[in-house]
Amino acid sequence: MSVNWQDPSFLLSLIAIIGTIFTYFKHDRKIKAQEKLINDYQLGKIEEEKIQKRQAVVRASLIAGNKGHRILRIYNKGKATARNVRLIIKDEPDYLYATNPFPFPMLNEGEYVNLNIELHKGLPDDISFEILWDDEYKENNSHTQNVYLN
């Protein structure tokens, strides 16, 4: 059997086969590139979740108490235990609170400690403070925050 290179059906079949092979490899390359992106993204998410499991996230909120009283609640919303929790109130007046439980040895996930604040005339409208803590991921984590007393 001889190949007739002049036969249009043979040439069209040959072009179709070459085109199919080219399209297959091009498509395969795109699929592999997309799979690599997806795998890298998933690996990044897994690594991020591992880090989050080792991190404590300590924040504060102000709760209205009885007249003339506020409660500054320091809480851990992270997944790890916060150790050696410290609260540094900037320009801290001596009469701001009755008792200061800080440094606090440990706050587990979802736990909190309350700081009672007595409101007085001449007290600023807001207080600024820094919360410091240690966790499995890092020592001396910090978060600076402002709360309004009124």
Q: What burial class does residue 76 get, using C-beta atoms within 10 Å of its C-beta: 0-12 exposed, 13-18 middle, 19+ buried?
A: buried
Least Cα distance to 148 among 54, 72, 55 occurs for 72
Place 1 in a pLDDT band, splitting at 50, 70 and 90.
low
Q: What burial class does residue 51 get, using C-beta atoms within 10 Å of its C-beta: 0-12 exposed, 13-18 middle, 19+ buried?
A: middle
Whether 45 and 62 share a structural domain: no
Residue 108: the pLDDT is 94
Read off the pTM: 0.71
Q: Domain range for residue 14?
A: 7-53
Whether 67 and 110 share a structural domain: yes
Whether 62 and 49 share a structural domain: no
Residue 116: the pLDDT is 81
Least Cα distance to 59 among 125, 150, 124, 132 occurs for 132
How does pLDDT run across 69-81, given as a tens digit for each residue? 888 899 999 999 9
Whether 69 and 141 share a structural domain: yes
Which of 17, 33, 53 is the last residue in one of the domains? 53
Average pLDDT of the segment spanning 56-71 = 87
Query: What would the DSSP string read from start to end of 2-65?
Result: ---TT-HHHHHHHHHHHHHHHHHHHHHHHHHHHHHHHHHHHHHHHHHHHHHHT---EEEEEEE-
How does pLDDT run across 106-143, given as a tens digit for each residue? 999 999 998 888 777 777 778 888 999 999 999 999 99
The residue ranking higher by pLDDT, 126 or 92, is 126
